[in-house]
Structure 1
């Protein structure tokens, strides 16, 4: 196991990934080369326990690595996050005595790449409802019919984790979770990813038209609505912590670029002195650093609690959604301050800060969104709304 103070990904690898990021953004291309190198480095098995053939990292270690990867290439980190979240969900369940997804850990160790086929257009219930039909096939398997959006890793996944609503079984309705395989029919991937930022993730729309999750990969059937099942907690915990790590990494890189620009730029008004000597620029970057520094301890603490099986009970969810909103909003603020300190060159499309400005906006759209997060925290503080 890697020591918590060591970096799993080498600086040389991160440097190569960083050098390619601008080209993938410019060309709207998938990060195949990054993915190959990350796979060769064993990063896709980071959370797979060593006894199952993986690297055996802790959640705390991985959250730190995702910050480093995101600082090098935000879209690469965000897309890889989806695979890492699934392996994290499996590990979270296994750590708590639930082996329903141990097959996923073994398959990840064997080379499978997992993607999320959960988000749907018009579904603000997220995990608690679905517009996709899950039709039972009579042998324990299901055929899925519906549209999934923001399916990161679209060009490369080998297994897609998805869910849909079973309305025809005797105990219906049930939300059904299972995995479909890329080499089986019943799905279409649209070539529709042409976005403002996070372009290399290629999170394309996936249309399911009878794609089959065999019985061996159907691992949960849950009642719709809020559910105490450990799977719901595992998805929330892994998604929110690792997502926070990615956007915190973006903020970290933006601050580095802002500092570099302050030292590089000079002021004619100040007789050629660098902007690092300008009181307003110094205050702005210091303000960004204060905001940025607040995130690392929070991510570390919640990831360590997940490792240690700490029971926060009902407080887990407000802690997790609060972390996600705080991380994504802080990253936006830090990037904005870095741009303000860096001058007009950051407005050009090829400028790295300009790219980070576009990339960081994607944080607005990941669950839990601002409204949902505030509702979760308000319910924890004040109790549910009286109807």
Structure 2
């Protein structure tokens, strides 16, 4: 079914969106292997997301979107991940930028309405550089008349080839406050913005997570949306942690579930034996653990207030869900047998894609430090 054949008058319940996501997953699953083999960006899959109304679906209704809630958005990303992990992961980066902006507008009356209206009306695709910047920020902001000159190289800019705005930051040596991270959006069409062809990786090869170079890019004073001390936890990052990581790890759970399904299909064609049954049971435990950890992350985002304790709970879920998703696919490789070792197998691709779950902040050592410092009543900034 073509996405533009969906009935526009159907009530947009979670089931409506999940039905769309399942159809997209089936369609993009047909080309996922080719994108992986070629290392090519999943550009046509973004066309499907646009046609289905998913780019602006999480924008509040008052601002022109469909008001899709966070849990449903996570479910959409998860379902897309079953068909193509690269599409799900790149899309999750756009989704979390939209969801964070919507949360801030709804709960803090933050002036993000212009950005959100643009996403809904113009299908603007937001590209995050946050994972590569995190608390430290990266790049240099130099004060000039009316604004700042930005010089930076932003790695892991997933979806940049479809991007409208790069949501990023740079470090300004403020004469009064010291090292200060400035947050701002830069249009990909702006002078001095260049996508560098750097993305050649083990897995998630279709995300197009190239480096983006900012060379003498001008950002007006009025375009700076936030300032914070470099390297310190800031309230904005507690909001990002709460909202973004359930979405990102929904993509990885989708990859794990796709491998799980493929492994069961292969195993059911074999004679049952005790070893195969035990491996399948262990795989079931692993995917259950990932599902349960992700559900706890989503529930936390729905009910908690952003802050250190909430961030620690979500990041604990990130570690547990990531570990369990990786283990699910490891076991799927064994349950699927020798056929899963071939490059043509979706399990082999999932095995490489799932490794990306290791690299998003907070990576496990930093997550354990945060959890430990909170438990001991220590300052989380060290």
Q: Under a length normalisation based on structure 1, what TM-score does the superposition of the two structures give?
A: 0.90
**1:63, 1:299 within 8 Å by CA — same for their partners in 2?**
no
User: Residue in 2 aligned with 1:284?
Assistant: 279
Residues 227 and 379 of structure 1, relative CA distance in 2, 3 Å threshold? same
| 1:12 aligns to 2:23 (yes or no) | yes
Show CA shifts across 1:166-201 (max 9, x none). Answer: 114544431100011111111222111111110000
Residues 88 and 385 of structure 1, relative CA distance in 2, 3 Å threshold? closer
Aligned equivalent of 1:235, options 210, 217, 240: 240
Aligned equivalent of 1:204, options 184, 207, 210: 210
Moved more, 212-221 or 51-60: 212-221
| 1:191 aligns to 2:192 (yes or no) | no
Residues 115 and 60 of structure 1, relative CA distance in 2, 3 Å threshold? same
Distance (whole Å) between structure 1 residues aligned to residue 283 and residue 106 of structure 2: 37
State the Cα distance separating 1:358 from its structure 2 match.
0.6
**1:2, 1:8 within 8 Å by CA — same for their partners in 2?**
no
Instruction: Provide the secondary structure at the position in 2 that maps to 1:174.
Output: strand
Distance (whole Å) between structure 1 residues aligned to residue 62 and residue 308 of structure 2: 32
Show CA shifts across 1:298-346 (max 9, x none). Answer: 43343244234x2374311111111111111111100010111111121
User: Residue in 2 aligned with 1:22?
Assistant: 33
**1:244, 1:324 within 8 Å by CA — same for their partners in 2?**
yes
User: Residue in 1 aligned with 2:76?
Assistant: 65
User: Residue in 1 aligned with 2:316?
Assistant: 322
Aligned equivalent of 2:366, options 356, 372, 375: 372
Count of aligned positions:
369
| 1:77 aligns to 2:88 (yes or no) | yes
User: Residue in 1 aligned with 2:3?
Assistant: none
Instruction: Provide the secondary structure at the position in 1 that maps to 2:49.
Output: helix
Distance (whole Å) between structure 2 residues aligned to residue 58 and residue 255 of structure 1: 27
Aligned equivalent of 2:130, options 118, 128, 135: 118
User: Residue in 2 aligned with 1:133?
Assistant: 140
CA root-mean-square deviation: 2.0
Distance (whole Å) between structure 2 residues aligned to residue 188 and residue 256 of structure 1: 40
User: Residue in 2 aligned with 1:271?
Assistant: none
Residues 253 and 119 of structure 1, relative CA distance in 2, 3 Å threshold? closer
User: Residue in 2 aligned with 1:87?
Assistant: 98
**2:22, 2:80 within 8 Å by CA — same for their partners in 1?**
no
Distance (whole Å) between structure 2 residues aligned to residue 119 and residue 143 of structure 1: 22
Moved more, 286-295 or 1-10: 1-10
User: Residue in 2 aligned with 1:217?
Assistant: 223
Aligned equivalent of 1:46, options 41, 57, 69: 57
State the Cα distance separating 1:294 from its structure 2 match.
2.8
Moved more, 91-100 or 4-13: 4-13
Show CA shifts across 1:267-324 (max 9, x none). Answer: xxxxxxx2xx21211111111112212333443343244234x237431111111111
Aligned equivalent of 1:31, options 8, 25, 42: 42
Show CA shifts across 1:15-34 (max 9, x none). Answer: 11111111111111111111
Show CA shifts across 1:66-100 (max 9, x none). Answer: 11011110000001111111101101211212323
Matches within 5 A, 1:301-320: 301-308=296-303, 310-311=304-305, 313-320=307-314
**1:119, 1:148 within 8 Å by CA — same for their partners in 2?**
no
Residues 219 and 323 of structure 1, relative CA distance in 2, 3 Å threshold? same
Show CA shifts across 1:85-130 (max 9, x none). Answer: 110110121121232322221111122111012354xxxxx43223
Residues 175 and 194 of structure 1, relative CA distance in 2, 3 Å threshold? same
Distance (whole Å) between structure 1 residues aligned to residue 300 and residue 315 of structure 2: 15
Instruction: Provide the secondary structure at the position in 2 that maps to 1:19.
Output: coil
Unaligned runs of 5+ in 2: 1-10
Distance (whole Å) between structure 1 residues aligned to residue 131 and residue 311 of structure 2: 19
Instruction: Provide the secondary structure at the position in 2 that maps to 1:220.
Output: strand
| 1:343 aligns to 2:337 (yes or no) | yes
User: Residue in 1 aligned with 2:6?
Assistant: none
Q: Under a length normalisation based on structure 2, what TM-score does the superposition of the two structures give?
A: 0.91
**1:42, 1:54 within 8 Å by CA — same for their partners in 2?**
no
Distance (whole Å) between structure 1 residues aligned to residue 101 and residue 214 of structure 2: 24
User: Residue in 2 aligned with 1:263?
Assistant: 268
Show CA shifts across 1:226-277 (max 9, x none). Answer: 2342x21222122211112111111111111111011123xxxxxxxx2xx2
User: Residue in 2 aligned with 1:123?
Assistant: none
